[in-house]
Amino acid sequence: MTQSVEAPLTGLTVLVVEDQPLIAMDIEDMLSSLGAAAIIVASTAGEARLALGRSPGLDLAVLDFVLGNGETTEEVADELATNGVPVVCVSGMESRDRMGGVPSPLQDAVFVEKPIDPALLREAVVQALHARSRG
């Protein structure tokens, strides 16, 4: 299915991994406005791994890399990379500092700083999908 410039996620399935419920809801709203057909939200890495097993047709993932209690989504990002699913990483500056550099599964991810600007998220989504189509 071809995505339009206005709705780059038309017909696509997106996984969101975010431990803060209000931020997850905001991201979900933003992705819906970009045309996502299905949005799966997980608040832990374990929930995300379960979603990956149940939803083999993912087209994009939006990950908060550092979740609560020091948990990360590194294993999730690694599995997504293995499966060729593009990733947008949303992170606060303090989270990026705690990451100690960009982990290898996120080398090709597009980063968006929190608080998330909808226009910047849209740009990151387009960039991530475009990179996948070139790869």
In a domain, 8, yes or no: no
Question: What is the model's pLDDT at position 39?
Answer: 97
In a domain, 54, yes or no: yes
In a domain, 40, yes or no: yes
Q: How many Cα atoms sit within 13 Å of 93 on the Cβ side? A: 0
In a domain, 4, yes or no: no
Question: What is the model's pLDDT at position 97?
Answer: 53
Give the count of domains, the chain.
1
In a domain, 6, yes or no: no
Res 95 pLDDT > 60: no
CATH number where 84 lies: 3.40.50.2300
Domain span at residue 128 reads: 13-134
Res 72 pLDDT > 80: yes
Its pTM surpasses 0.75: yes
**Where does the chain have alpha helices with state H?**
21-33, 45-54, 74-82, 93-99, 118-134
Neighbours of 9 (CB within 10 A): 25
- What's the whole-number mean pLDDT along residues 129-135? 80
